[in-house]
Structure 1
């Protein structure tokens, strides 16, 4: 089927505005947020720079102990061109954003295109720390897709959304990244992942493949004398982490035309029908039970589990509230905590994942993320989110009002795609009890376990995200941390790899001890001491895939990377990182 692309915007990025860091360099990426000269009306270039910076900071540990730039990784100046547009899948109401970065030093002799999908619900630069950081310095072109997510928020209160260059405009004055129709002015902020009505997660594989075709087309445009660029003469490596990792594995299963040369997936959120557990299932379970379980003595020395006190009152109150709702039977806080922990273990949670999952509970990530997923699965619009939730603009001081112009102008650069953040609050799903978030958590969980019409529709939405089997000769490398508490390896990568092998495939699977989900969290004291980063293993896996494609070198062995150690209180070293031998 013919691809549908909008007008292509071409920009040059040289001198103090390169492709990889927008001129910030490593120190600038790790520094204070890039400034806007006019905060209420930032330029496209300023928004791009801050979006690249926030994408790096959201994925990589750039702190002084993290080892980036000394033990692994680098951010050299990479001049080149960007080609960006909106792309529509057949039948979709809204586009996904695609962007190709073609370095001036593109290697025409060893043609390479890296295609990447954003992690989480991030925007177009979401994969830059992985795909751009690995591919651009070696002369590969890189093409990104936001896979139908991103922070192109539409504000019904003033009728504005995000244009192709990242600036805001009124609906009707420009083509917008996301422009819902007929949404009331008081519906709250509309987010593409949650409110598009397209159920983008069901199409993540197709988003990746369409981005790959866009990348080839832009290479034709950039180098017409070398055209055509095709899968037969250009090696195409798909990579991503978290939701992006799941998206590239989905693309592997959807790749009927043989576009992809190899796939490297980090900590993938991947669902296989009849194997493992889908994210919505275990995330809503964690949102409900983990606060109660964290009162158990097993969590006494776990970062984030105590938040500066022996046992946070909220954890004890959750246990009592679940007892009142008939979800727990214990009569004391200690018995309720033990029972909640036992239930989580019985459903497949491992202790190393549960201890790291305390951070997601402390940050209220389980509830925040599953709200967006539920709205997407049910194809709800802003103003009609399930369980009474909504996204509302918030001024300083916590008062919900029409969005401040300065805050709204930065949404595209600063937003993660899933509020609350950057001046947008998650409202609703609460009551005035001592455990105010419990009603929303119960409602979201019931959409998975219940029997009503909405529960049936939600489960159908989850079923539509199941991966298909990739072709036999496609090299697939999966890298996942043993301590991942957001996408536990036992629910995702392990069953996916086992499923492939049961069907005669030969994926490479690296399990990295002490690695958890968010490298950026390693900057937190104590937390970083206990864990190892995952990103350098992603770079190493991409190196191995490239060597296999270009020199015929055998793919590496599976590995539980036995010599890797926690970083400890000092800076990361090559010895503690212990990458698998080249």
Structure 2
């Protein structure tokens, strides 16, 4: 049954609906594998889209308060999680024009259905959650399934999917794709329950229970310590979230049941890791998925020319990029902290790289040129390097490499081959026990990758003069070396490789050409070239002056020179939805010459969105 036919069946709810389902259903349309474990109502001052905060509340610098910081309620945790995830993904600054030039923060009353689900073979569950708006259109029967960006919690894609889907009467299905913010306090043996509150090991059902040695201390992080290599199963996580959506809709609208893949439209959308996850979902068997929109996807088309894994270019950048920054014009680096504060550390990195034989040159200038030339030879563009300065400034490369090395190698607590761990920390970065208030806020405030939310990286290899260099060299050797640990991590990376789509369907891949975290030359470009051989309906939008983090466009130096990516994601959703309805042809490929806002505010006309 094609997309147009399934929608026309959905238009008739009585006898006609029965006629649509009278033929034996396809196997992929049958089983609802997970039933809702928790159902909550969200109306009035606590809606689905912003938890009642509205645009002003989302813009507020202070997080929504907990009445008792050590014992927040599920509603308080949810509100803060929604606040944190909106701010981490969207540009909510006054000049960003969110909710005016593009996007929506209009109140969306409805219900949420949530559960813990487990993909076959996994040791730990992933969170699934479905938002069903009161205006759900039972004639259209639409589900937008999404996956958290980065390693965020289950609300980690709320700004990506919900502003488009909820006003149109579509349900939204979320997954944290096996990562998320269900941190576990090893010292106190406490972790997050399904509702986000803190529970005790052996007493409560927890969202993440690590396999840890007796007497372990610090913090276990699900992405790093699940032993599941969740990235290998991203597509399965997305499909399972869509299956959960059908079960939730059956419960929400029993008079219109059954909701099945052959009578319900399913569109997948995500950005960053979530973008990679929805592309991986297109590899799953069956006609369950109608269209895909992937923004700035972390996707590894292993056999395609130019493709590089995230771990490969992350560990390379962590070592070389601080030094290479010195070879770029100072005025080209709009990055915090200020260049004057970090330049001495970059100079020191050049010297230690020279001592390690990783760059050449007699002085810092020549050494920086050597590091820059190596990155360029390996596929980095100057645009990606300039935007990547932000990741250097926030030590993001190291944070990603530490967590992903553990995940790829399926290492448990205390097993990291480079000696890294996570813990609450003192001012001198020494480990300490977490407080009850810190622990209570992890679920709503964490990003899924420390440091952040009161959890830091414990590096047992710190040594002067370049304190983090020994650990970074160890992490890089897991990519380039041949030890048992290196082979173990490399095998995990190989398991994340993308494969050709199984079914022909509309797919739009959108990527900023200035992306400095997931450069398109290593990800989208090789993936699109390979995927088109199996699915000619793959389209590629390349956006000039767009980098990876819309949320950082609130920084004036970034907002002035870069455009947001979310407007293109919403526009692509509009276009594929119209394509499925038969109202337009597939979106065309596009090289988009967007214009940054400069000192003004974002105007839709500056974005040059394809029509």
Query: How far apart are residue 187 of structure 1 and its match?
Result: 3.5
Whole-angstrom distance in 2 between the partners of 1:500 and 1:199: 24
Structure 1 length as normaliser, TM-score? 0.97
**1:321 equivalent in alignment to 2:352:** yes
Change (3 A) 1:299 1:498: farther
CA gap 1:396/1:50 in 2 versus in 1, 3 angstroms: farther
Match of 1:47 in 2: 77
Distance (Å, rounded) in 2 between the aligned partners of 1:408 and 1:490:
39
Shift of 1:229: 0.9
Alignment of 1:402-441 (within 5 A): 402-441=433-472
SS of equivalent residue, structure 1 residue 98: strand
- How far residue 393 of structure 1 moved from its aligned partner, in angstroms, is 1.2
Instruction: Provide, for residues 473-492 of structure 1, a one-character-per-residue CA deviation record: whole Å limited to 9, x for no partner.
Output: 21111111011000001110
Alignment of 1:44-443 (within 5 A): 44-254=74-284, 256-275=285-304, 276-304=307-335, 307-309=338-340, 312-395=343-426, 400-443=431-474
Q: CA deviation at 1:504?
A: 5.2
Spell out, residue by residue over 1:70-126, the C-alpha distance to the aligned partner (whole angstroms, 9 max, x if none): 111111111111100000112211100000100110001111000000000000000
CA distance in 2, matches of 1:363, 1:429: 20
In the superposition, relative to structure 1, how do residues 380 and 125 fare at CA in structure 2: closer, same or farther (>3 Å)? same
Instruction: Tell me whether 1:444 sits opposite 2:480 in the alignment.
Output: no
Whether the 8 Å contact between 1:156 and 1:183 is mirrored in structure 2 is: no
Q: 8 Å contact 1:187–1:382 — kept in the other structure?
A: no
Structure 1 141/412 Cα, relative in aligned 2: closer, same or farther at 3 Å?
A: same
Q: Deviations over 1:376-406 (max 9, x none)?
A: 1111112222311110112567553110111
Contact 1:4 1:89 in 2 (8 A): no
Aligned ranges 1:379-528 → 2 under 5 Å: 379-395=410-426, 400-503=431-534, 505-528=536-559
Q: C-alpha separation between the residues in 1 aligned to 2:435 and 2:550?
A: 32
Gaps of 5+ in 1: none
The residue number in structure 1 matching 2:68 is: 38
SS at 1:71's partner residue?
A: coil
Number of corresponding residues: 579
CA RMSD of aligned residues (A): 1.6
Distance in 2 (CA, whole Å) between partners of 1:8 and 1:306 is 44
Given that 2:430 and 2:458 are in contact with CA atoms closer than 8 Å, whether structure 1 keeps it comes out as no
CA shift in 2, pair 1:490/1:429, >3 Å: farther
**Paired position in structure 2 for 1:565:** 595
Secondary structure of 1:467's aligned partner: coil
Q: Secondary structure at the match of 2:46?
A: coil
Change (3 A) 1:51 1:504: closer
Q: CA deviation at 1:502?
A: 3.4
Instruction: Give SS of 2:268's match.
Output: strand
Give yes or no for contact 1:395–1:404 (8 Å, CA) kept in 2: no
Answer yes or no: is the 8 Å Cα contact 1:299–1:305 preserved in 2.
Answer: no
Q: Tell me the alpha carbon deviations over residues 503-557 of structure 1, each in whole angstroms, 9 at most, x when there is no partner.
A: 4523111111101000001011212111000001100000001111123420111
**2:23 matched to which residue of 1?**
none
For the Cα contact (< 8 Å) 2:124–2:228, is it kept in 1?
Answer: yes
Conserved? CA contact 2:183–2:192, under 8 Å: yes
Q: Which runs of 5+ in 2 are unaligned?
A: 1-27
Structure 1 residues 451 and 399: alpha-carbon distance in aligned structure 2, compared to 1, 3 A threshold: closer
1:322 CA drift (Å)? 0.7
SS in 2 for 1:287: helix
Assess, with a 3 A threshold, how the Cα gap between structure 1 residues 555 and 429 changes in structure 2: closer, same or farther. farther
Which residue, out of 25, 46, 56, partners 2:54? 25
Contact 2:185 2:220 in 1 (8 A): yes
Structure 2 vs 1, CA of residues 513 and 297 (structure 1 numbering), >3 Å: closer, same or farther?
closer
Partner of 2:340, secondary structure, is coil
TM-score by length of 2: 0.92
CA distance in 2, matches of 1:96, 1:527: 34
SS of the equivalent of 1:129 reads helix
Task: Call closer, same or farther: CA 1:306–1:20 in 2, change over 3 Å.
Answer: closer
Question: Measured at CA, do residues 311 and 409 of structure 1 come closer, stay the same or move farther in structure 2, by a change above 3 Å?
Answer: closer
Answer with 233-242 or 295-304: which moved more.
295-304
SS in 2 for 1:294: helix
In the alignment, the residues of structure 2 paired with residue 297 and residue 201 of structure 1 have an alpha-carbon distance, to the nearest angstrom, of 34
Distance (Å, rounded) in 2 between the aligned partners of 1:98 and 1:106: 19
Distance 1:112 1:329 in 2: 57
Q: 2: distance between equivalents of 1:293 and 1:47?
A: 41
Structure-2 change in CA distance of 1:269 and 1:547 (3 Å): same
Q: Is the 8 A contact 2:33 2:244 kept in 1?
A: no
Distance in 2 separating the partners of 1:447 and 1:328: 20
Q: 1:519 & 1:183 partners in 2: Cα distance? A: 40
Judge which range, 118-127 or 432-441, deviates more.
432-441
Separation (CA, whole Å) in 2 of partners of 1:397 and 1:570: 41
Change in Cα spacing, 1:230 to 1:5, as seen in structure 2 (3 Å) is: closer
